[in-house]
């Protein structure tokens, strides 16, 4: 993904160079976004579509983590930062614009009789303290712990949610992307894993033998994430310092419109507009959206 980003970036830089050489105006029609690698692929796609609709504008996307997104937006080195969480109280100088939501679902094999697991139980399973389903009320079957490879944002959110360090997790299988996780769990009746909720729902609807477990008694579904009722989720934001420029305002409006819903779905993220506008969905960003 980085490769794709950097290639794209290189191309854009080249195009930008050519444009800035030919017309002095080109530079002002360039939007730079930096930050979280979870948000970047989505914004890259949204940027491409925006560019095709507004040929004069170039959208430049670079990764570097949420903290870089915050920093660049503050310092003005980027027009907007990409941040894969809600803003902290100390970051109130920035205005967030919610683009999408990312939820994580715990999945087990469909044949597994387990109905739900508490946070403590999941933590014990992942740290190797519980290694048989019998210990949490299931069949006498060893547990296969499936976790994500280091650096993945899903892992990051998982660790953060359960307050774990990666070295504490004792996995049997380490996976890369969501699809691999779903297939691994589907092929192993004793497995437990976590993947983006969109990916799990998609595969489940296509009769892949997996089961999404509820978290804190809340059913795991894209709709629940969009309503803000699911505890294991986070916001994907664009953050801006001060008043955004006309160009940026237009881009943000586009990124928040229904015109990008298919792009959000394709990344297995959740559009905050999945439910009707009346729902609480945009509450956290309602204020900023209302301004426009």
Partner 1 sequence: MYGKPSTSRTDRWLAATLQLFTTITVLLLITIVGFLCLESWQLISGSGQNTGIFALLSGQDWYPLEGKFGMGPMILASLAVTFGAICLALPIGLACAICLQFYASRGIARWFELALILLAGIPSVIFGLWGLTRLVPIIGSWQPPGASMLAAILVLALMICPTVALTTTAALRALPLSLTAGSEALGLRLPTQIIQVYLPAARSGIISGVLLATARALGETMAVLMVAGNVVQNPSDLFSPVRVLTANIALEMAYAMGDHRGSLFASGLLLTALVWILSLWANRASGQRLLRAPYV
Q: Rounded to the nearest whole angstrom, what is the least distance from the CB of residue 182 to partner 1 in the complex?
A: 11
Q: Rounded to the nearest whole angstrom, what is the least distance from the CB of residue 157 to partner 1 in the complex?
A: 13
CA separation, residue 69 to residues 50, 149, 205, 250, 292 (Å)? 21, 23, 35, 20, 22
Phi, psi of 76 (to 5 degrees): 80, 10
CA separation, residue 92 to residues 96, 142, 188, 239 (Å)? 9, 47, 46, 10
Contacts 24+ apart (CB under 8 A), 71-75: 72/34, 72/35, 73/35, 73/239, 73/240, 73/241, 74/241
| CA distance linking residue 225 with residue 216, whole number of Å | 13
Q: Rounded to the nearest whole angstrom, what is the least distance from the CB of residue 173 to partner 1 in the complex?
A: 5
Q: Given the complex with partner 1, which of 67 and 257 has the nearer CB atom? A: 67
Q: Given the complex with partner 1, which of 125 and 240 has the nearer CB atom? A: 125
Q: Given the complex with partner 1, which of 150 and 205 has the nearer CB atom? A: 150
Q: Given the complex with partner 1, which of 172 and 289 has the nearer CB atom? A: 172
Q: Rounded to the nearest whole angstrom, what is the least distance from the CB of residue 203 to partner 1 in the complex?
A: 13
| CA distance linking residue 76 with residue 93, whole number of Å | 13
Q: Rounded to the nearest whole angstrom, what is the least distance from the CB of residue 113 to partner 1 in the complex?
A: 17
Q: Given the complex with partner 1, which of 3 and 258 has the nearer CB atom? A: 3
Q: Given the complex with partner 1, which of 137 and 187 has the nearer CB atom? A: 187
Q: Given the complex with partner 1, which of 123 and 152 has the nearer CB atom? A: 152
Beta-carbon contacts of 23 under 8 Å, excluding residues fewer than 6 positions away, are none
Q: Rounded to the nearest whole angstrom, what is the least distance from the CB of residue 264 to partner 1 in the complex?
A: 20
For residue 31, give both structure tokens.
């939007």
The partner residues of 108 in beta bridges, in order of sequence, read 192, 211
Q: Interface with partner 1 by CB under 8 A: which residues?
A: 1-3, 37, 63-65, 141-142, 144, 149-153, 165-167, 171-176, 180, 183-184, 187-188, 190-191
CB 233 within 8 A of CB 225: yes
CB 70 within 8 A of CB 80: no
Q: Rounded to the nearest whole angstrom, what is the least distance from the CB of residue 15 to partner 1 in the complex?
A: 24
């Amino acid at each position: 993904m980085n490769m794709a980003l950097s290639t794209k970036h290189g191309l854009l830089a080249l195009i930008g160079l050519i444009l800035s050489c030919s017309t002095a105006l080109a530079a002002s029609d360039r939007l730079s976004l930096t930050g979280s690698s979870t948000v970047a692929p989505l914004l890259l796609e949204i940027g491409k579509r925006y560019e095709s609709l507004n040929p004069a504008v170039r959208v430049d996307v670079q990764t570097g983590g949420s903290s870089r997104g915050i920093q660049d937006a503050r310092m003005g080195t980027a027009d907007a930062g990409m941040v894969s969480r809600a803003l902290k109280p100390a970051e109130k100088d920035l205005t967030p614009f919610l683009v999408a939501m990312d939820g994580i679902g715990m999945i087990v094999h469909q044949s597994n009789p387990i109905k739900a697991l508490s946070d403590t139980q999941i933590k014990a399973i992942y740290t190797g303290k519980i290694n048989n389903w019998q210990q949490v009320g299931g069949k006498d079957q060893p547990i296969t712990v499936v976790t994500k490879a280091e650096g993945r944002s899903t892992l990051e959110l998982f660790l953060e949610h359960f307050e774990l360090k990666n070295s504490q997790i004792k996995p049997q299988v380490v996976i890369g992307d969501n699809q691999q996780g779903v297939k691994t769990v589907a092929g192993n009746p004793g497995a437990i894993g976590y993947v983006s909720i969109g990916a799990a729902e998609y595969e489940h609807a296509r009769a892949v033998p997996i089961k999404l477990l509820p978290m804190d008694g809340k059913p795991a579904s894209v709709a629940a994430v969009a309503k803000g009722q699911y505890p294991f989720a986070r916001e994907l934001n664009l953050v801006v310092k001060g008043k955004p420029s006309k160009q940026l305002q237009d881009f943000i409006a586009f990124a928040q419109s229904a015109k990008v819903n298919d792009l959000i779905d394709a990344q297995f993220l959740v559009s905050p507009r999945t439910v009707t506008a009346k729902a609480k969905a945009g509450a956290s960003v309602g204020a900023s959206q209302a301004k426009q």
